[in-house]
C-alpha cells in the first residue's frame, strides 16, 4: 500500500530519444508513446533504472554493503535475490505536459492541451496541491492564450509552425503558466530566462498556448525532431552498407513529469536504517539526492550528448 507520494519533473536540456524499437514509419527508431493518445512518454521501467544508477553513484563514498542495502530497500534487490522482496518506491510513466513548437513571433513557445492539463491536475491532487484553474471543456478549434501573450502576431492570431490559429483570451492560461513556471521548471538561476518566458509575473505576460486535444496530438506526433545518423566505413571513407538510419527525438525544452509512489520497506528479514525506516523517510531521502543541480541522462545516444534532463522534485502529502 502506498503511503507517501512525490513528483519528479523532467526538463529536456538536449533532444531525448527513449526508443521503442524499430519501425516501418518515417523514423526508423521512434520514441515511446501511449497507445491510445500517441502522446510521448518515458516508460517507468527506464526511469527506475536511471534513478537506481543515479542513487548508486551518489552513494559512492559509502561501503558496498551499505549501497546494496539502500538500493535493495528503495528499488528492490537484483540478481539471485530479486525474488526476495519488492522495492518500496514505484514510478509512473513520465507524461508530457509542455511541448515546444516553432512560433512566428518569439522564436518558439510551449503548447499543451486540456487532456494533458487535466491529467496533470488529477495527479497533483495526490500530492495535496490545490489547483484551481478551470479550462473550457468545449475547446475544439483555435487556441487559448493569456491576455498579454508575447507570441501573438496580432491581436487575434498566433502562428505555430506553418499553421495560423485564431485565439481567445483566458485567465486560466496565466494560472497554468504561473504554476508550471514556479513549481515545475528548474528553479536555479540559469533557468530564470525560461521561467520568465513561460510566465513573467512583472508584466503578467506568458508565452503558453493551450490548443485543443486534437491539435496538440498532431503537433506531438508530427513536430518531434528527426535526426539522421550514419556510420562510416573507415577503409572506404563512405557510409557503411545498411548504416544510415533516422532517430526520433523529443525536442529540447520539453517538460514531462512522473509520480513517485512509496510504501514502507517490504523486507522483513532486516531492520532498515533509520533514514529509510518508512515511506515518508524514503521520499525525503530521494529529495535530498535530487537537488536542483542534478542533470541526468535518459535514453540513448549518451556519447553524443543527447538525453540530458534537468530534474526537479516536488514533495507530496500522505
Distance from C-alpha of 210 to C-alpha of 2, rounded to nearest angstrom: 33
Q: Looking at the 3D structure of the chain, how many domains does it have?
A: 2
Report if residue 83 sits inside a domain: yes
Residue 195 and residue 120 share a domain:
yes
User: Is residue 318 very low, low, confident or very high in pLDDT (cuts 50, 70, 90)?
Assistant: very low
Q: Establish if 25 belongs to a structural domain.
A: no
pLDDT at 224 over 60: yes
pLDDT band at 260 (very low <50, low <70, confident <90, very high): very high
Q: Is the residue at 31 inside a domain?
A: no
What pLDDT is recorded for position 94? 97
132 and 212 together in one domain: yes
Q: Is the pLDDT of residue 125 over 80?
A: yes
Question: Distance (Å, rounded) from C-alpha 75 to C-alpha 9?
Answer: 19
Is the confidence at residue 14, as pLDDT, over 80?
A: yes
Percent of the chain residues past pLDDT 70, beyond the cut? 92
Does 183 share its domain with 286?
A: no
Q: Exposure of 10 by Cβ count < 10 A (0-12 exposed, 13-18 middle, 19+ buried)?
A: buried
Q: What is the CATH classification number for the domain harbouring 13?
A: 3.30.70
Kindly indicate the confidence band of residue 196, based on its pLDDT and cuts at 50, 70 and 90.
very high
Q: Are residues 271 and 298 in the same domain?
A: yes
Per-residue confidence (pLDDT) for residue 85, from 0 to 100: 81
Residue with cell 491536475: 121
Is there a single domain that holds both residue 136 and residue 50?
no
Tell me, yes or no, whether 27 lies in a domain.
no
Residues 171 and 275 in one domain: no
Cα-based distances in Å from 288 to 8, 53, 195, 255: 13, 16, 23, 22
Domain membership of residue 274 (yes or no) is yes
How does the average pLDDT of the chain come out, rounded? 89
Q: Cell match 548508486: residue?
A: 56
- pLDDT at residue 240, rounded to an integer: 67
Q: pLDDT of 28-84, one tens digit each?
A: 889 999 999 999 999 999 999 999 999 999 998 888 988 999 999 999 988 777 677
Query: Does residue 113 sit in the same domain as residue 211?
Result: yes
Q: Cα separation of 69 and 53, whole Å?
A: 14
Q: Alpha-carbon distance 125 to 224, whole Å? A: 30
**pLDDT score of 316 more than 80:** no
The percentage of residues in the chain with a pLDDT greater than 90, rounded to a whole number, is 64
Shared domain for 103 and 88, answered yes or no, is no
Are 104 and 88 found together in one domain?
Answer: no
Is residue 195 domain-shared with residue 290, that is, in the same domain?
A: no
**What mean pLDDT comes out for the span 235-262?**
84
Mean pLDDT of 143-170: 93
pTM of the model: 0.92
Q: Is residue 313 part of a domain?
A: yes
Q: Are residues 83 and 104 in the same domain?
A: no
What is the secondary structure of 280-293 as a DSSP string? HHHHHHHHHHS-TT
User: Measured between alpha carbons, how far is residue 122 from residues 33, 189, 275 in Å?
Assistant: 20, 30, 30
Determine how many CB atoms are found less than 10 A away from the CB of residue 22: 11
pLDDT number for residue 22: 67
Q: Are residues 230 and 244 in contact, defined by beta-carbon separation less than 8 angstroms?
A: yes
State yes or no: pLDDT of 157 exceeds 60: yes
* Interatomic CA distance for residues 180 and 117, integer angstroms: 11
Q: Looking at the structure, tell me whether residues 203 and 294 fall in a common domain.
A: no
Flag whether pLDDT at 295 surpasses 60: yes
Query: Would 263 be classed as within a structural domain?
Result: yes
Whether 152 and 176 have beta carbons less than 8 Å apart is answered as no
- Does 142 reside within a domain? yes
Cα distances (Å, whole numbers) of residue 36 to 33, 45, 217: 9, 19, 11
DSSP per residue, the chain:
---EEEEEEEEESS-B--B----SSSSSBPBPB-TTT--BEE-HHHHHHHHHHHHHHHTTTS-HHHHHHHHHHHH---GGGTTT---SEEEPPEEEEEEEEEBSSSSEEEEE-HHHHHHHHHHHHHTT--------TT--SSEEE-TTBTT-SSSSEEEETTEEEEEEE-HHHHHHHHHHHHHTS--SGGGHHHHHHHEETTTTEE--EEE-HHHHHHHHHHSSEEEEEEEEETTTTEEEEEEEEEEEEBPTT-EEEEEEEE-----SSSPPPGGGSSHHHHHHHHHHHS-TT-EEE-SS-GGGT--EEEEEEEE---
Q: Which of 223, 240, 266 is the last residue in one of the domains?
A: 223
Please report the pLDDT score of residue 111 as a whole number: 98
Q: Which domain holds residue 107?
A: 99-223
Whether residue 156 is predicted with pLDDT greater than 80 in this model: the reply is yes
What digits encode the pLDDT tens for the residues 87-111?
999 999 999 999 999 999 999 999 9
| pLDDT value at residue 180 | 96
Amino acid at each position: 500500500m502506498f503511503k507517501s507520494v512525490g513528483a519528479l519533473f523532467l526538463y529536456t536540456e538536449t533532444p531525448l530519444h527513449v526508443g521503442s524499437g524499430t519501425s516501418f514509419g518515417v523514423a526508423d527508431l521512434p520514441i515511446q508513446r501511449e497507445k491510445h493518445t500517441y502522446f510521448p512518454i518515458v516508460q517507468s521501467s527506464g526511469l527506475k533504472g536511471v534513478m537506481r544508477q543515479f542513487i548508486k553513484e551518489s552513494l559512492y563514498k559509502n561501503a558496498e554493503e551499505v549501497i546494496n542495502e539502500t538500493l535493495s530497500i528503495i528499488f528492490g534487490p537484483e540478481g539471485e535475490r530479486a525474488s526476495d522482496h519488492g522495492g518500496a518506491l514505484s514510478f509512473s510513466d513520465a507524461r508530457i505536459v509542455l511541448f515546444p513548437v516553432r512560433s512566428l513571433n518569439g522564436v518558439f513557445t510551449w503548447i499543451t492541451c486540456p487532456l494533458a492539463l487535466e491529467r496533470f491536475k488529477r495527479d497533483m491532487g495526490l500530492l495535496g496541491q490545490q489547483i484551481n484553474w478551470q479550462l473550457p471543456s468545449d475547446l475544439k478549434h483555435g487556441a487559448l492564450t493569456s491576455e498579454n501573450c508575447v507570441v501573438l502576431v496580432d491581436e487575434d492570431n498566433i502562428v505555430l509552425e506553418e499553421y495560423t490559429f485564431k485565439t481567445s483570451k483566458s485567465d486560466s492560461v496565466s494560472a497554468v503558466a504561473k504554476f508550471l513556471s514556479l513549481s515545475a521548471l528548474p528553479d536555479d538561476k540559469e533557468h530564470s530566462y525560461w521561467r520568465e518566458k513561460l510566465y513573467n509575473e512583472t508584466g503578467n505576460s506568458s508565452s503558453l498556448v493551450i490548443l485543443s486535444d486534437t491539435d496538440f496530438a498532431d503537433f506531438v506526433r508530427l513536430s518531434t525532431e528527426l535526426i539522421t545518423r550514419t556510420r562510416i566505413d573507415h577503409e572506404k571513407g563512405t557510409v557503411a552498407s545498411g548504416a544510415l538510419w533516422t532517430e526520433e527525438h523529443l525536442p529540447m525544452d520539453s517538460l514531462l513529469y512522473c509520480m513517485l509512489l512509496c510504501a514502507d520497506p517490504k523486507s522483513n528479514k532486516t531492520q532498515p536504517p533509520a533514514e529509510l525506516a518508512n515511506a515518508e523517510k524514503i521520499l525525503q531521502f530521494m529529495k535530498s539526492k535530487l537537488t536542483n543541480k542534478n542533470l541526468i541522462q535518459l535514453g540513448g545516444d549518451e556519447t553524443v550528448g543527447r538525453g540530458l534532463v534537468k530534474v526537479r522534485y516536488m514533495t507530496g502529502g500522505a
